[in-house]
DNA sequence: CGTCCTATTGAAATTCTTCAACACTCGTGG
DNA sequence: CCACGAGTGTTGAAGAATTTCAATAGGACG
């Protein structure tokens, strides 16, 4: 069992955020250094805590790194912990008895993973990319949730955001053509992968966190169709394919248009 | 504007739940009579309130009835209220610029309608059937939410349930055939429309809350396909069609099977 | 250099949609 | 009481989009 996931685990106290990039100039002496990186990016649930609560929590956090394709539900179960995503992408997948699969959600930094006080059913969570987490014991977090309604509201908010995203995706799966679906996916990645960047203007390059088969499972299509539609978008000048995983988008608004209409 | 929705509105205090059917033998003298009906069925958010809070809330509730196709967002906006569904079904719809539509959720009694402290975007809410609501002023409810973490947790729970349902539906839209989709829809209705009834055994009759065009918008198909698949299910002996709106299901498990496999 | 995994491309097969005609139901007014 | 019309649902045939099957190519790694 333990062999099934390989994680490099370091105690947070030995680790002062020295790997952190993208960091803004924040010097809040009250906030634990380990947490500043998170805060700097765009506060996850922890942002709802007071500095003293944050200090208490940070004393029990563990940072860990995981390879692509690691089963994260297993990790959560084994360590009896919840976690924030520091970097990387997690895919949530549903599977039918006969093997058909559908990715029902993607989680990016700084999303919270897990469900305090509630069941998560029939869903597998896998690292879609190399992943870094900041984990805390379930018991401690649930304690703090009982103390801090703000933190619970934060989780509630994340659930509502995920609900909105799931519903947007229902529209995509139910009513869009394959071409529009692929464009919608690229748009989704472009707007989520780096929340720092203002995404409206200019040419951007995105790194796809999923391989073709995963994209297919996300869009309810086959890998062949993904491939064909990508080359179609390329020929239409809406994207440029640098390499299987890197795509440049000359104009986000052109892409957005393509995500809502088939005909030019 | 006001002409656009016609509602018969009665003050709750003049209304002692006398229309209530399906009521169990509960005699809790501390709980306001207006609320007992709700509780008896299967506690909505109000179940998290103390009797005294419930009394306070019940003094400001308004029951109302609405015809099919009423725009409920308008109602919520105009009365500045949130509401519990007492009976009937509400459909949540997303629409694309070019008119394509997708139903992204159905709400049944005793679901809570509205989103305290958060935005609900690009979504229209319509009565799919005649509807009865129990509404309360937003301000009062938000006050009580600040007082009662249990109530907020209840809302949080509902959001998580809706999220799970949306994700199940993603699998349905993304990976199932038209036949399986229609079977899945019937199964959904059978399991939601009357939460009282144990749903596993025997033959049951369901009343469809949606017309064919709506079912199509829920399943990402066309009305023609819905029609064809319904007659297919009928010929396969999985359902009997009593009339356009009433369908009997001889065996729920056969239907469940049909919702996951095409070939017999 | 061979092998495994991933991605692309083509041609045939299938599923679902589109277009078109027709049937049923219900309420209204002659 | 019947006729009419609008809204709703069903059925058929042709067409389009996507899948399936099959073959090939590119990269990463031992």
- Residue A153 is encoded by which pair of tokens? 């509201």
Measure B183 CA to nearest chain A CA, in Å: 15
Q: B11 near B62, Cβ under 8 Å? A: yes
End-to-end CA distance of chain B: 53
**pTM across the whole model:** 0.88
Quick one: which of B106, B157, B167, B188 has its CA closest to A121? Answer: B167
Amino acid B202: pLDDT? 78
pLDDT on residue B54: 85
Percent of chain B exceeding pLDDT 70 equals 83
Contact A97 B260 (CB under 8 A): yes
Give the pLDDT confidence of B204-240 residue by residue, as tens digits. Answer: 999 999 999 999 999 999 999 999 999 999 999 999 9
H helix count then E strand count, chain A = 9, 11
A31-35, A137-141, B223-227, range with the lowest pLDDT = A31-35
Most confident segment among A84-88, A218-222, B7-11: A218-222
| CA atoms of A100 and A167, how far apart (whole Å) | 21
Burial class from Cβ neighbours inside 10 Å (0-12, 13-18, 19+) for residue B14 reads exposed
Per-residue pLDDT tens over the stretch A226-246: 999 999 999 999 999 999 999
Distance (Å, whole) CA A15 – CA A33: 9
Of residues B45 and B19, more confidence is placed in: B45
Range from A97-106, A109-118, B151-160 that averages highest in pLDDT: A97-106
- The model's confidence at residue A54, banded by pLDDT at 50, 70 and 90, is confident
Q: Which two tokens stand for residue A176?
A: 């869009």
Quote the pLDDT of residue A21: 32
Percent of chain B with pLDDT over 90: 64
Which 224-263 positions of A have CB less than 7 A from strand D?
A: 224-225, 228
Handedness of CA B243, B246, B248, B254 (dihedral sign): positive
- Strand D nucleotides, any atom under 7 Å to a protein CB: 8-13, 17-22
Report the C-alpha gap between A126 and A93 in whole angstroms: 8
The bases of strand C with some atom under 7 A from any protein CB are 6-11, 15-20, 25
C1’ C8 / CA A236, Å: 18
Q: Rounded to whole angstroms, how far apart are CA atoms A172 and B227?
A: 23
**What is the rounded CA–CA span in Å between residue B264 and residue B261?**
7
Q: What is the pLDDT of residue B26?
A: 41
Question: What is the per-residue pLDDT across B149-191, written as a single tens digit (0 to 9) for each?
Answer: 888 899 999 999 999 999 999 999 999 999 999 999 999 999 9
Percent of chain A exceeding pLDDT 90 equals: 64
Nearest chain A Cα to B261, which residue? A98
Q: Could you say which DSSP state residue A19 is in?
A: T
CB-nearest partner of B173 from A118, A155, A170? A170
Interface test with A, best of B163, B172, B176, B253 (most A CBs within 10 A): B163
Report how far apart, in Å, the C-alpha atoms of A259 and of each of A174, A219, A253, B137 are. 14, 13, 10, 39
Query: Mean pLDDT of all residues in chain B?
Result: 85
Residues 157-186 of A with CB under 7 A from strand D: 177-179
Which residues share a beta bridge with A240?
A: A248
Give pLDDT, residue A27.
47
Q: Do A173 and B220 touch (CB under 8 A)?
A: yes
Inter-chain residue contact B170 with A170, CB threshold 8 Å: yes
Instruction: For A215, name the nearest residue in chain B, comparing CA atoms only.
Output: B174
Task: For B118, name the nearest residue in chain A, comparing CA atoms only.
Answer: A157
Q: What is the pLDDT of residue B8?
A: 38
Separation of alpha carbons B17 and A261, rounded Å: 50
Chain B hits for A118, Cβ within 8 Å: 157, 160
Q: Which residues on A lie below 8 Å from B145 (Cβ)? A: none
Instruction: State the alpha helices, DSSP H only, in chain A.
Output: 33-42, 51-58, 72-79, 138-147, 149-175, 178-192, 212-219, 223-235, 252-258
Region A114-120 average pLDDT? 89
For residues A81 and A16, is the Cβ–Cβ distance under 8 A? no
| Distance from CA(A67) to C1'(D29), angstroms, rounded | 17
Query: Which segment, B22-26, B43-47, B66-70, is predicted with the most confidence on average?
Result: B66-70
Which pLDDT score, from 0 to 100, does residue A46 have?
81
Give the pLDDT of residue B121. Answer: 83
| Contact between the CB of B262 and strand D at under 7 Å | no
Residues of chain A with C-beta less than 8 angstroms from the C-beta of B123: 167
Residue A46, both tokens: 């922890």
Cβ pair A105:B167 closer than 8 A: yes
Q: What is the pLDDT of residues B104-158, one digit of tens each?
A: 999 998 899 999 988 888 999 999 999 999 999 999 999 999 888 888 899 999 9
Angle B51-58/B138-147 helices, nearest 10 degrees?
170
pLDDT at B22 over 50: no
C-alpha A20: how far from chain center: 18
Q: Which residue would you say has higher pLDDT here, B196 or A23?
A: B196
Which residue among A115, A123, A174 places its CB closest to the CB of B173?
A174
């Amino acid at each position: 069992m333990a062999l099934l996931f390989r994680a490099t685990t370091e105690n947070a106290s030995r680790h002062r955020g020295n790997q952190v990039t993208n960091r803004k100039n924040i010097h809040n002496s009250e906030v634990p250094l380990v947490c500043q990186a998170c805060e700097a990016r765009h506060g996850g649930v922890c942002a709802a805590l007071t500095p003293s609560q944050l200090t208490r929590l940070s004393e029990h956090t563990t940072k860990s790194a995981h390879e692509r394709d690691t089963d994260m539900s297993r990790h959560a179960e084994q360590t009896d912990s919840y976690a924030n995503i520091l970097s990387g992408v997690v895919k949530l997948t549903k599977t039918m008895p006969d093997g058909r699969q559908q990715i029902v959600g993607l989680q990016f930094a700084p999303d919270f993973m897990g469900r305090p006080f509630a069941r998560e059913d029939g869903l597998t969570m896998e690292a879609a990319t190399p992943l870094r987490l900041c984990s805390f014991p379930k018991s401690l977090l649930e304690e703090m949730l009982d103390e801090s309604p703000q933190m619970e509201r934060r989780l509630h908010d994340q659930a509502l955001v995920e609900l909105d995203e799931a519903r947007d995706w229902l529209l995509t799966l139910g009513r869009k053509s394959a071409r529009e679906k692929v464009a919608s996916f690229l748009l989704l990645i472009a707007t989520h992968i780096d929340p720092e960047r203002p995404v409206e203007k200019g040419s951007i390059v995105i790194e796809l966190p999923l391989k073709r088969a995963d994209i297919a499972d996300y869009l309810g299509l086959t890998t062949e169709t993904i491939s064909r539609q990508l080359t179609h978008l390329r020929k239409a000048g809406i994207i440029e394919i640098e390499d299987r995983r890197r795509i440049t988008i000359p104009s986000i608004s052109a892409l957005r248009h393509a995500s809502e209409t088939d005909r030019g």
